[in-house]
Structure 1
Amino acid sequence: GLRPEAKSEVPDVELVRALWANHKPLLRPFMSVEGGVMAAIALIDANQVDIVKAVDTIRQVKHRLQTDHQEISFKISGEAAMDATFMEAIVQDIIWIAPIQIGLIILLLMICLRSIMTTLVLLIVMGCAITITMGAAGWVGLQLNGVTSATPMILLGLAVATCIHLVIAWQQEMRARGDSVSALANSIQINAFPVFLTILSTVISFLCLNFSASPPFQQLGNLVAFGLVTTGVLAFTLLPALTSFLTAGAIPRSSFLETVFFKCGHYVVHHRAAFVLVLIFASCVAGWGLTKLTFDDRFSHYFSERFEFRRDTDFMEKHLTGLSVLTFPLSIKQATGRPRAPTVQQVVGFADWLAQQSKVTRVDGYSTLARRVLDGATSESALNRVEPTITAVLSNASSAEIRQLAERSKTWLGNHARGLSDGPVGTTLLAAYLSERNLNAMLLGTVAALVLVSLILLFALGNVRLGVISLVPNLVPMLLAYGAWGLTLGEMSFAATVVMALTFGIIVDDTVHFLSKYSRYRMGASVEQSVAQSFRTVGVAITATTVAVASGFLALCFSGFLVNQHLGLLTLLIVCAAWLAVLFLLPPLLSYLDASHTKTDDTSHNNLQV
Structure 2
Amino acid sequence: MFMLIAALLLLSVMGFARLNLELDFNDYFAPSDPRFVAFNSMMDKFERHDQLWLLLETPKDWRDKESKAQLIDFLGKIKANQDINSIQGYNQFVQGTAKQDKILAYKSHPRLPSVLSANGHAMLLKLQLNRHRAQEFNTQSLWLDDVLQKVDRDSREYWLPLGVNTYFNGTHALNWQYAKVLGHDLSWFAPALLGIIFLMAALFIRQALWIFAICINSGIALVLSMGLAAWLKLTLAAITAFVPVIIVTLGLAYASHLYFGWRAEINRGQTHQQALRYTVKVNQAPLFYSTITTIFGFSLLMFSPSPPIQSFGLLVAFAVLCNYVLSLTSLIFFAKHSKASVSKGLDFSGVVAIARYNAKRPRAVMMGIVLFSAFALVSVSKLTLNDDPLSYFESTNPFIVSSQKMAQYFSGINLQHYVVASADNKQIAKAEISFVYRFSRFLKRQPQVVKVQHIGDWIKSVGVGQNQFKQILAKNTVVELGLASELSADKQSSLVTLYLQPMTAMELIAFEQRVADWLAEHLLEHPAEIRVSPPIASNLLFAHLSVDNANNMLLSFAIALVALAILLSILKGSLLFGLMGLLLNFLPLLWVFALWQINGGFISLGTAVVLGMMLGIIVDDTLHLMLKLPDQVQLSETCMWDCLHKVLPVISFTTLTIALGFSIGLLSAFSPIVQLSLLSCLVVIFAWGFDVLMLPVLYRRWILRKAER
Question: For 1:171, which of 213, 238, 263 is the aligned residue?
Answer: 263
Secondary structure class of the residue paired with 2:125: coil
* 2:646 paired residue among 534, 537, 540: 537
Distance 1:336 1:307 in 2: 46
Distance 1:591 1:228 in 2: 33
Does the Cα contact within 8 Å between 2:386 and 2:604 map onto a contact in 1? yes
Contact kept, 8 Å, 2:59 with 2:164, in 1: the verdict is no
Matched-pair contact (CA < 8 Å) for 1:108–1:544: no
Q: Does 1:526 align with 2:636?
A: yes
Kindly provide the amino acid, as one letter, of the partner of residue 526 in structure 1.
S
The structure 2 residue matched to 1:401, chosen from 501, 507, 523, is: 507
**Pair 1:198 & 2:254 matched:** no
Report if the CA contact (8 A) 1:265-1:532 is conserved. no
Secondary structure of 2:237's match?
coil
CA distance in 2, matches of 1:375, 1:277: 77
Does the C-alpha gap of structure 1 residues 383 and 452 become closer, same or farther in structure 2, counting only changes over 3 Å?
farther
1:606 aligned partner: none
For structure 2, list consecutive stretches of 5 or more residues without a partner in the other structure: 1-55, 72-89, 95-105, 135-139, 488-493
Deviations 1:520-548 (A, max 9, x none): 6x754532x23432332112211111122
2:112 aligned with 1:2, yes or no? no
Query: What are the within-5 Å matches in structure 2 for residues 131-146 of structure 1?
Result: 131-142=223-234, 144-146=236-238
Tell me if structure 1 keeps the 8 A contact 2:561–2:586: no
Could you tell me how far apart the structure 2 residues matched to 1:74 and 1:391 are?
26
Q: 1:492 aligns to what SS in structure 2?
A: coil
Find the counterpart in structure 2 of residue 289 from structure 1.
379
Of stretches 537-546 and 410-419 in structure 1, the one that deviates more from structure 2 is 410-419
Shift of 1:378: 11
- Rounded to whole Å, the distance in 2 between the matches of 1:591 and 1:400 is 46
Look up the SS of the partner of 1:23 in the other structure: coil
Give the counterpart of 2:656 among 541, 547, 554.
547
1:565 and 2:668 are equivalent in the alignment: no
The CA distance in 2 between the partners of 1:306 and 1:352, in whole Å, is 37
Which residue does the alignment assign to 1:25?
110
* 2:164 maps to which of 51, 57, 72: 72
Residue 498 of structure 2 aligns with which residue? 392
Deviation string 1:498-528 (CA, Å, 9 cap, x unpaired) is 22121111111111111122226x754532x
Q: What secondary structure is seen at the aligned counterpart in 1 of 2:168? A: coil
Q: 1:550 to 1:228 in 2, by over 3 A?
A: same
Number of the residue aligned with 2:560: 449
8 Å CA contact retained: 1:347, 1:370: no
- Deviation of 1:471 after TM superposition, in Å, equals 1.4
Query: Any idea what SS the aligned residue of 1:293 has?
Result: coil
**C-alpha displacement of 1:68:** 1.4
- Which residue of structure 1 aligns with residue 596 of structure 2? 485
Note if contact 1:112-1:540 (Cα within 8 Å) is conserved in structure 2. Answer: no
Give the CA deviation at 1:289: 1.5
Q: Report what 1:157 is aligned to.
A: 249
Q: What residue in structure 1 maps to residue 67 of structure 2?
A: 11
List per-residue Cα deviations over 1:131-153 (Å, max 9, x = no partner).
Answer: 33223323444453112121101
**Aligned to 2:144, which of 51, 54, 57?**
54
Residue matched to 2:173: 81
| Residues 341-360 of structure 1 aligned to structure 2 (within 5 Å) | 343-360=432-449
What is the CA distance between 1:19 and its match in structure 2?
Answer: 6.1
Q: Deviations over 1:538-574 (max 9, x none)?
A: 1221111112222232111221111112211222221
8 Å Cα contact 1:289/1:486 also seen in 2: yes
Greater Cα offset, 565-574 or 309-318 = 309-318
| Cα deviation, residue 355, structure 1 | 3.2
Corresponding residue number in structure 1 for 2:3: none
Question: 2:520 aligned to 414, 420, 428, which one?
Answer: 414
- Describe the SS at the equivalent of 2:57: coil
Q: How does 1:115-514 map to 2 (within 5 A)?
A: 115-142=207-234, 144-245=236-337, 247-249=338-340, 251-254=341-344, 257-331=347-421, 337=427, 339-340=429-430, 343-372=432-461, 379-380=468-469, 381-383=471-473, 385=478, 386=483, 387=487, 388-416=494-522, 418=524, 419=526, 420=530, 421-514=532-625
**CA separation of 1:286/1:54 partners in 2, compared to 1, >3 Å: closer, same or farther?**
same
Contact 2:568 2:578 in 1 (8 A): yes
**Aligned partners of 1:158 and 1:549 also within 8 Å:** yes
1:17 shift after superposition: 12
- Provide closer, same or farther for how the CA distance between residues 292 and 98 of structure 1 changes in structure 2, counting only shifts above 3 A: farther
Q: What is the TM-score of this pair, normalised by structure 1?
A: 0.89
Gaps of 5+ in 1: 600-610
2-structure distance, mates of 1:248, 1:55: 51
Residue 665 (structure 2) pairs with residue 556 (structure 1): yes
- Aligned CA distance change for structure 1 residues 4 and 212 (closer, same or farther; 3 Å): same
Q: What's the C-alpha RMSD, in Å, of the aligned pairs? A: 3.0
Match of 2:629, SS state, is helix
CA positional deviation for 1:187 = 0.4
Query: Is contact 1:348–1:370 with CA below 8 Å preserved after alignment?
Result: no
Instruction: Give the Cα–Cα distance (whole angstroms) in 1 for the partners of residues 280 and 70 of structure 2.
Output: 81
Relative to structure 1, is the Cα distance of residues 158 and 538 closer, same or farther in structure 2, using a 3 angstrom cutoff? Answer: same
- 1:40 aligns with 125
Cα distance in 2, alignment partners of residues 356 and 390 from structure 1: 15
Q: What per-residue deviation string (whole Å, max 9, x for no partner) do you get for residues 145-185 of structure 1?
A: 11212110111211122111011001011112341111101
* Higher deviation after alignment, 377-386 or 161-170: 377-386
Judge conservation of contact 2:91–2:125 (CA < 8 Å) in 1. Answer: no
* Structure with the higher fraction of residues in helix conformation: 1
Q: Give me the whole-angstrom Cα distance separating, in 1, the residues matched to 2:502 and 2:262.
A: 56
Deviation larger for 71-80 or 180-189: 71-80
Q: Does the Cα contact within 8 Å between 1:208 and 1:448 map onto a contact in 2?
A: no
1-structure distance, mates of 2:230, 2:467 = 57
Q: Tell me the distance in 2 between the aligned counterparts of 1:5 and 1:373.
A: 31
- SS of alignment partner, residue 305 of structure 2: coil
Instruction: Name the structure 1 match of 2:26.
Output: none
For residue 190 of structure 1, report the CA deviation from its aligned partner.
0.5
- When residues 437 and 272 of structure 1 are mapped into structure 2, their CA distance, relative to the original with a 3 A threshold, is same
What secondary structure is seen at the aligned counterpart in 1 of 2:124?
Answer: coil
Contact 2:630-2:640 at 8 Å conserved across structures: no
CA separation in 2, counterparts of 1:243 and 1:581?
33
TM-score w.r.t. the length of structure 2 is: 0.77
How many residue pairs align between the two structures? 594
Conservation of the 8 A alpha-carbon contact between 1:110 and 1:119: no
Tell whether the 8 Å contact from 1:154 to 1:552 is kept in structure 2 after alignment. Answer: yes
Tell me, in whole angstroms, the C-alpha distance in 1 between the residues paired with 2:111 and 2:369.
63
What does the per-residue CA deviation read over 1:42-98, in whole Å, with 9 as the maximum and x for residues that have no partner?
A: 345899942542353133112212111222211111112222322222221111133
Residue 166 of structure 1 aligns with an amino acid whose one-letter code is L
Q: Which residue of 187, 195, 200 corresponds with 1:95? A: 187
Change (3 A) 1:51 1:184: closer
Q: Is the 8 A contact 2:207 2:339 kept in 1?
A: no
Judge conservation of contact 2:387–2:605 (CA < 8 Å) in 1: yes
Partners of 1:124 and 1:516 in 2: CA distance: 29
Give distance in 1, aligned partners of 2:472 and 2:623: 73
SS in 2 for 1:12: helix
Q: Structure 1 residues 46 and 484, CA, compared in 2 at 3 Å: closer, same or farther?
A: farther
1:435-457 deviations in Å (ceiling 9; x for gaps)? 22222222222222223233222
Distance in 2 separating the partners of 1:401 and 1:437: 15
Q: Which moved more, 1:157-166 or 1:439-448?
A: 439-448
